[in-house]
Chain A
Amino acid sequence: MTITPEFRPAPGDLEEHEFLVNMGPQHPSTHGVLRVILRVDGERLVDAIPDIGFLHRCFEKVAEGWTYQQVVPLTDRLDYVSAMTNELAYVMAVEKLAGIEVPERAQWLRVLVAELQRIASHLVWFGTFALDLGATTPFLYAIREREHILDLFEALCGARLTYSYMRIGGVRGDLPPGFVGKTREFLKLMPSRLREYENLFMKNRIFENRTKGIGRVTAEEAVAYGASGPTLRGSGVDWDLRRDEPYAAYDRFEFGVPVGQSGDVYDRAVCRFKEMYESLKIIEQVLDGLPEGDVRAKVPRVLKPPAGDVYTRVESPRGEVGVYLVSDGGPKPYRVKWRAPSFAHLRLLPVMAKGHMVADIVAIIGSIDIILGEVDR
């Protein structure tokens, strides 16, 4: 994007109405390093052009130089708020390519951590979204509850953010002692806390007034722009990969998929929020029926999948994470293409923002829950 001189008011020309405002790259509500070029007419947004690439770390090129196993910790760094689902998407691609059978228990554990991760990620979203709209308190409460999940993850894999837990052919280790008990405690605590958040924020009149009717996307637009996850479902498209194209062990569980109607900020927020209840249901079912057995299949140390290509996709908290993997038969991937949901959603930003007030852009960015580490890769 280049800023052409025509947007600049000529000296002494007081009749010029449109002008450019830079939001970011350093801005508290862009959730990372994102610059949005706003064309405003007074307080109204004429256009909002996202300018990305500040966090580019050459993930796809770096992955070509590493072996299949070594790329797993690298995928943690893409969507760092939801590292588990990234790893899951990647290891599933390698397993499909190499034809590796994953033990049943490992599949269940993958669902368990993916759903815990979804709640943790949505809690971060909830907190920062509220913060963007000017409510400081929900952020502190959400981070407090997220701490329970991070403690579980710390005991499970030794890290609190970049887990490096999934392995090709399974997961790294079995549940540590006390994990199931602590998770059950969390399951008991969380619904009441979610209801508190509802009373505090989601049912608050100021929140409703600031989000209803803002940033509307029709179902056709959402599909056309490749939206997925809560951004798509908020527009009324009933599509969830966990249910419609089950991977790992998702076909064993009963859960609902919250769908919105109008596709505005409010509906997207409510969809995301209700998903936490559904994730709690899945976690409960996993703990009830966790099968015994191995957690990791035997995989050769130097893995050489046959030449070919695969595409796998999983439902991350933000939407559809897709991995396109090409192998030339060697120990290193020939090409890794990462399909990041936030990238597609960011393209919707101009559609959503048009015609709204400058203050609404913050609510709109918050509602699509972008992670810049994933957008720029």
Chain B
Amino acid sequence: MHNLTSLLTGFWSFICGLWVTLVNTVRPPVTFQYPEKYYVPLEGFRGYPALVVDPETGETKCNGCQACARACPLGVIHIETAQREDKKRYPVEWRLEFGRCMVCNLCVEACPFGALTMSPEYEFAEYRPEDLVYTLGNLKLPPEGFEVRRLDGSTVRTGLAGGGRG
């Protein structure tokens, strides 16, 4: 008798399991066909630290104060500055060894002038390791910014001058 009940309850547990599988078969898939479709990241996504560009002058807002370089735990930011005629300093070289960067956001928070932000780009593959050292040229964000999603379904643009969520 005990064997029979055990057999029946065991059999019933399989039926329950199969029912769950059946229910899930008809649910819509949640997978995303990534390389075919571009995944639009959410606002605030941390891709890599990048420099915000002032749309009027086309220059970065950075004045080379080195606060970000000091805040970086790994020391992967290297900045060299020069002085303009109006005594303001500007970076002549802004180098990020992105291959070693851990995208921790500490440099962005450290910048007192809002010159740094996180770019929401995420496709970094390169053929040579040297190409993962980003310089001033490829660290400047495009002035039109990037389109990102929000959780409530709307889309906004980030990476614009004045933006940059600490």
The total of interchain contacts (Cβ-Cβ below 8 angstroms) comes to 95
Residues A13-59 near B (CB distance < 8 A): none
- The reply to whether A181 and B16 form a contact with Cβ atoms under 8 Å apart is no
Tell me how far the C-beta of B47 lies from the nearest C-beta in chain A, rounded to whole angstroms.
9
Interface centre among A70, A137, A158, A201 (most CB of B within 10 A): A158
Assign chain B's interface to a size class.
20 to 34
Complex CA gap A47/B109 in Å reads 51
- The reply to whether B30 and A147 form a contact with Cβ atoms under 8 Å apart is yes
A66 contacts which chain B residues (CB < 8 A)? 73
Complex CA gap A203/B23 in Å reads 17
B21 contacts which chain A residues (CB < 8 A)? 137, 200
Tell me how far the C-beta of A339 lies from the nearest C-beta in chain B, rounded to whole angstroms.
23
Complex CA gap A182/B42 in Å reads 13
- The reply to whether B150 and A196 form a contact with Cβ atoms under 8 Å apart is no
Tell me how far the C-beta of B121 lies from the nearest C-beta in chain A, rounded to whole angstroms.
13
Among listed B53-61, B86-94, B99-107, B128-136, interface-contacting one = B99-107
- The reply to whether A173 and B20 form a contact with Cβ atoms under 8 Å apart is no
Contact of A158 among B30, B102, B118, B151 (CB under 8 A): B118
Residues B111-165 near A (CB distance < 8 A): 118, 150-153, 165
B35 contacts which chain A residues (CB < 8 A)? none
Among listed A149-157, A216-224, A262-270, A316-324, interface-contacting one = A149-157
A290 contacts which chain B residues (CB < 8 A)? none
- The reply to whether B42 and A151 form a contact with Cβ atoms under 8 Å apart is yes
- The reply to whether B153 and A70 form a contact with Cβ atoms under 8 Å apart is no
Residues A158-211 near B (CB distance < 8 A): 158-159, 162, 164, 172-173, 176-179, 181-182, 196, 199-201, 203-205
A interface with B by C-beta (< 8 Å): 66-67, 69-74, 137, 141, 144, 147, 151-152, 154-159, 162, 164, 172-173, 176-179, 181-182, 196, 199-201, 203-205, 301
